[in-house]
Amino acid sequence: MKKYLIIIACFLTFLFCFQPSALAFCGFYVAKADSKLYNQASQVILARNGEKTVLTMANDYQGNVKDFALIVPVPVPIKEDQVNVGNPKILERLDAFSAPRLVEYFDSDPCQPIGYMDALPSAARSNEMSQGRIQEKNQSFGVTVESKFTVGEYDILILSAKESNGLEKWLIREGYNIPKGASELLQPYIKQQMKFFVAKVNLTELAKSDFQSLRPLMIAYESPKFMLPIRLGMVNSQKEQDLIVYLLSSKGETELTNYRTVKVPSDVDIPEFVQQEFSGFYKSMFSRSHEKEGRKVAFLEYAWNMANCDPCSAEPLNPDELRQAGVFWQNSPYDNNLFITRLHIRYDKAHFPEDLKFQNTANQQLFQGRYVIRRPFRGKISCDAGKNYPQQVRQRQQKEAQTLANLTNWKLIDIEKRINFLETQTENTPWWRKLWQ
């Protein structure tokens, strides 16, 4: 059976390359909007310090593994000891740690007020081969197999090519089913004298392992260019694709330089019932924001120092987990110079004509996608100070309904039907009882 070539943006990242104190948000974490919300959300980890980068590419391939293959343009020849198979749990950990989150507060009895932080801080709305180099040339196609090796369950080729049609013909001859249009998109990379990293599954090695699915591929390399090529990733799909990038830096936030980045709407009060359908809320809110921004921006969902979190949707990664994520510059368990940036990009051919270009910055402003539900006090109110509380809460609930409608484009009338409006009754205390008290 032919090997199907998977050209996915998240597998193309390395193509060119490429403590502040916590602000207290308070509140109790109750739900998160992680990558599982999206059917085909590619995930990439980029750990970069100076010109050194470790790329982790998550395999979200669905189908028979014997049909799996991928091709990635790379800036320099990649040797065997620069490639590793990673732990899929690390992507899950980073996803859980940085996912947009829902938190809740509880109103105190208005007759017995207690001091608590109701703060939404503005600052945080924030093998080198043993046989030596292989020189296997095919003059008819202009393709050279620079090297080949096996790492884990993957057979890997490093190719060079003189022209894209030749590369396409060579891959077809070798049994790869090339998506229509790939040849044209491969040409710019050949002109830049890029190499091509081609991987497919070694079924014998896979059978020896205990893994039920393909593990992430990791590549370590050095290059002054810090980019995430996504153009080839559009060959396989005419639809919009979701890409979540976890950028790990020793300095601060990692920014896009050639596309505008906006923060997802955050620190807003929404109705209580959203807790039961937070996933649906976040998907609708993200789609609404994506449309309002013209479908051509990247969204910042999280920016924080890895040493802490507030509130935590998952514990920060420990030193061993950070090493598995590609962090190579930390020298001790007490080294806290790690900043994580989470970008969510929904892209297509029309709105993202260029590959993504990044830069590390020293900006350590904290930010998280954070949504708040406030639980009203629903007990008996027996004091003058609480007389206006029910009305105040109803006004707050109406405002929350309008906010939800604006964020998601859901119908206001349907939202209001689902709100449990406060109906607390104020106790009528006789005037003389107050006197005797």
Tokens of 74: 């790379």
Tell me the average pLDDT of the chain: 82
Quick one: tokens of 294?
A: 């013209």
In angstroms, the CA 346 to CA 352 distance is 9
DSSP state of 96: H
Q: Report the range out of 38-47, 61-70, 150-159, 168-177 with the highest average pLDDT.
A: 150-159
| pTM reported for the whole predicted model | 0.83
Percent of the chain with pLDDT over 70: 81
Contact call for residues 92 and 313 (beta carbons, < 8 A):
no
Produce one character per residue of 267-291: b if its CB has 16 or more CB atoms within 10 Å, e if not: bbbbbbebbeebeebbebbbebbbe
pLDDT tens across 26-59, in order?
Answer: 567 788 888 888 767 789 999 999 999 999 988 7
358-390 in b/e form (b: 16+ CB < 10 A) is bebeeeeebbbbbbbbbebbeeebeeeebeebb
Rounded distance, CA 85 to CA 22, Å? 34
The model's pLDDT over 256-301, given as tens digits with 9 standing for 90+, comes to 999 999 999 999 999 999 999 999 999 999 999 999 999 999 999 9
| Residue 21: pLDDT over 60 | no
- Report whether 271 contacts 401 (CB < 8 A): yes
pLDDT at 130: 33
pLDDT (tens digit, 9 = 90+) per residue, 108-152? 888 886 654 444 433 333 333 333 333 444 555 899 999 999 999
